[in-house]
Amino acid sequence: MAKLLFFYFLVVFPSFILLANCQQGNNTLEADQFLNETQTLVSLNKVFELGFFNLSDSNNEYLGIWYTAPKKTVVWVANGDSPIIGGNGSLHLTPEGVLSLQNGSGYVVWSTNKRSFKGPPEAALLDSGTLIVRDTMTGDVSWQSSYDLSNTLLPGMYLGYITLPNLNQKMQLTSWKNDTDPSPGSYVYMLDHSRLYELVIVYGSTVTYRTGPWTGSHWNGMPQLGEAGLVAFQLNQTDVAAYFYYNSLNPAYIFRLVMNQNGTLSFLRSNLTSDWEEFERIPPANSGQFALCGPNAISQGCVGWFGDLIDTVKLANDQGDNLYMRVAAPPPPPPPPHTPDMNVRKDELMTFEFSTLRSATNNFNPANKLGEGQFGIVYKGVLNDGEEVVVKRLARNSREGIENSKKEVTLLGKLRHPNLVKLLGYCVREEEMLLCYEYIPNRSLDQLLFGNLENQDSPLNWGMRYSILEGISAGLLYLHEDSGHAIIHREIKPSNILLDNNMVPKISDFGLSQLFDQDNLFVKLCRVASCGHMAPELQKKIISTNADVYSFGVLILEIITGQRNSSFPNGLVAHVRIILIS
């Protein structure tokens, strides 16, 4: 009897399941069923098939999904980096809903996670080209191949991320090693949301191509994508997810978007009878070359502006792009006739003769001294043309240091923002460097907030405080991001915020830490200077823009309370309660 029962379960029961499966069409794998290397699942519309395959005449066997027409085209691989050697692979759906891929001797080379099920699980190959595992009772999907993409994005599949308590998923395309090796290659195509949403191709940590931000209807950097009217693009964001996808606009075609092993993306289509045709290539053939079209130009087809910009058109239904223009500041008043050979343009970084700065500061007269900062002595000066300036005579440096400093200073000289103190020029003499800044006539925030205004209240009202904060945050954002460089200030504090006659705040001393970024020197300076305003992680020398954000937070508290952080033994942060009102 026991033998009979055993026979029943071993032979009759499984064939019963197979029969049931055949009746439903063969797009599903039931619980405890196996798929061997000669069997396949076929989606209901027969466009996709799942099964085992070898690439060219290699012995490596993979489980994957392919388009059946116009020719077998693999779009997903389960075990790209763990092939089954020598064949006889099989796929098993366990009663617990785990898909398990095994080699000829039952060794598991790939599997999905275990999830809890109410009813029996089943695996199904959908018409979208996705393999799913679902609960036949509730219909809940516990796993799907489209969350674990290979090098191909099919219509309706997401590129992006989902962050839920039980699901932390990043969907991205990874190129294959080569045509016969589907293991992960060097290029990844993904949604970058560090600032704005845009799609990027990365090689290691290097971005090799970006689409430009999403405008709501297309990617700013590649408006031509989708121009053919074949596919529609969509970027959706929710609190827990952001993803990009595309859909076919023409049911006569099938599509695939492939991350190629050479770092290009191919958008391909087929009408099922004719072979795949690449209708879009990213990056376009002529792009990706630095400065291809020169200044004031867009490198897609090279559009440039010279002279007057005329005949711009405002299109109906917001179809065009916004045009932003940066215009030069009004020209400076003509210099007095006796100005010597300073034929260098004012809005570019000047190189000063040492003698010019020496005479401007009256031979570095102690009477001209404004202060002594972390990086050297600061003097007030007057140039020959009458312009008032601030001259910073930096601590001496090594010769190599000076060469590096020149590069840094050139970069700092390019920074222009209403909330930054403008660097006018520099001077290098032997092993020392001098920086020349615009002179900000009003006082520092330090004096205005806590000032030596004997018993007088600070002259700053709430409106002023608020607009000062706005200005500082705009300046910081520019330093951190908008300038195109991540410049970390490292010492955001009231004495480094200067105010002009209109009470517009200007951040001073930015970039100087980088200039001096030689570990030992930095530590030494930190020891000499007050390290008080440096964020804790900065003192440990783990430096990021977050350090500035922390200091800015403390600065906000100082501006609101009118109290110095340093007047509290444990800092101001320990004495305030922050209530976020949403």
Minimum CB separation of residue 194 from ligand NAG in Å reads 22
Among 142, 368, 405, 565, binds ligand NAG (CB under 6 A): 565
The structure tokens listed for 188 are 């990844």
178 binds ligand NAG (CB under 6 A): yes
Among 40, 495, 496, 514, binds ligand NAG (CB under 6 A): 40
174 binds ligand NAG (CB under 6 A): no
Number of residues that bind ligand NAG (CB under 6 A): 48
Point out which residues pair with 122 in neighbouring strands.
30, 134
Among 45, 138, 180, 365, binds ligand NAG (CB under 6 A): 180
Minimum CB separation of residue 559 from ligand NAG in Å reads 13
- Between 121 and 505, name the residue whose CB sits nearer to ligand NAG: 505
53 binds ligand NAG (CB under 6 A): yes
- Between 284 and 401, name the residue whose CB sits nearer to ligand NAG: 284
CB 332 within 8 Å of CB 383? no
Query: Where does this chain touch ligand NAG (CB under 6 A) — which range of 82-90, 119-127, 165-173, 327-335?
Result: 82-90
Among 168, 501, 520, 582, binds ligand NAG (CB under 6 A): 501
Query: Where does this chain touch ligand NAG (CB under 6 A) — which range of 111-119, 136-144, 441-449, 474-482?
Result: 441-449
d(CA 241, CA 61): 35
Minimum CB separation of residue 37 from ligand NAG in Å reads 5
Query: Where does this chain touch ligand NAG (CB under 6 A) — which range of 146-154, 191-199, 214-222, 564-572?
Result: 564-572
HEC string for 517-530: CCHHHHHHHHHHCC
- Between 79 and 565, name the residue whose CB sits nearer to ligand NAG: 565
d(CA 277, CA 219): 23
User: What backbone torsions phi and psi does residue 282 show, to the nearest 5 degrees?
Assistant: -125, 135
By CB atoms closer than 10 A (0-12, 13-18, 19+), residue 241 is middle
Query: Where does this chain touch ligand NAG (CB under 6 A) — which range of 30-38, 385-393, 510-518, 521-529?
Result: 30-38
Interface map 535-554 toward ligand NAG (x if CB under 6 A): x---------------x--x
Handedness of CA 235, 238, 243, 247 (dihedral sign): negative
Sheet holding 241-248, edge to edge: 167-171, 159-164, 241-248, 231-237
332 binds ligand NAG (CB under 6 A): no
Query: Would you tell me the crossing angle of helices 545-561 and 462-477 to the nearest 10 degrees?
Result: 170
Which helix (H) or strand (E) is 392 found in, with range? Answer: strand 388-394
Among 1, 3, 5, 105, binds ligand NAG (CB under 6 A): 105
Minimum CB separation of residue 316 from ligand NAG in Å reads 21
- Between 138 and 262, name the residue whose CB sits nearer to ligand NAG: 262
Among 47, 88, 297, 504, binds ligand NAG (CB under 6 A): 88
Report which residue's Cβ sits closest to ligand NAG: 87
Residues within window 235-274 making contact with ligand NAG, judged by CB under 6 A: 236, 260, 262, 264, 266, 271, 273-274
Query: Where does this chain touch ligand NAG (CB under 6 A) — which range of 4-12, 141-149, 435-443, 466-474?
Result: 435-443
- Between 234 and 355, name the residue whose CB sits nearer to ligand NAG: 234
Query: Where does this chain touch ligand NAG (CB under 6 A) — which range of 97-105, 348-356, 365-373, 378-386?
Result: 97-105
61 binds ligand NAG (CB under 6 A): yes
The structure tokens listed for 3 are 């033998």
d(CA 186, CA 468): 47
100 binds ligand NAG (CB under 6 A): no
HEC string for 144-213: EHHHCCCCEECCCCCEEEEEECCEEEEECEEEEEECCEEEEEEEEEEEECCCCCEEEEEECCEEEEECCC
Nearest Cα neighbor of 467 from 491, 493, 442, 445 is 445
The residues, any chain, with a CB within 8 Å of residue 473's CB and separated by 6 or more, are 552
Handedness of CA 495, 501, 507, 510 (dihedral sign): negative
Nearest Cα neighbor of 562 from 467, 460, 493 is 460
Query: Where does this chain touch ligand NAG (CB under 6 A) — which range of 39-47, 134-142, 167-175, 322-330?
Result: 39-47
User: What backbone torsions phi and psi does residue 492 show, to the nearest 5 degrees?
Assistant: -75, 110
Q: Is 71 annotated as a binding residue?
A: no
Peptide linkage before 70 cis (omega within 30 of 0): yes
Sheet holding 350-351, edge to edge: 350-351, 423-429, 432-438, 388-394, 376-382, 369-373
Alpha helices in 415-488 (DSSP H): 445-450, 462-477
- Alpha-carbon separation of residue 179 from 271, 280, 543 (angstroms): 24, 20, 42
Q: Kind of pairing, strands 34-36 and 41-42?
A: unpaired
175 binds ligand NAG (CB under 6 A): no
- Between 104 and 213, name the residue whose CB sits nearer to ligand NAG: 104
- Between 113 and 236, name the residue whose CB sits nearer to ligand NAG: 236
Minimum CB separation of residue 111 from ligand NAG in Å reads 14
Binding annotation for ATP: 392
What are the residues binding ligand NAG (CB under 6 A)? Answer: 26, 36-40, 42, 52-54, 59, 61, 85-88, 103-105, 107, 177-181, 234, 236, 260, 262, 264, 266, 271, 273-274, 441-443, 501, 503, 532-533, 535, 551, 554, 565-566, 570-571
Binding annotation: 392
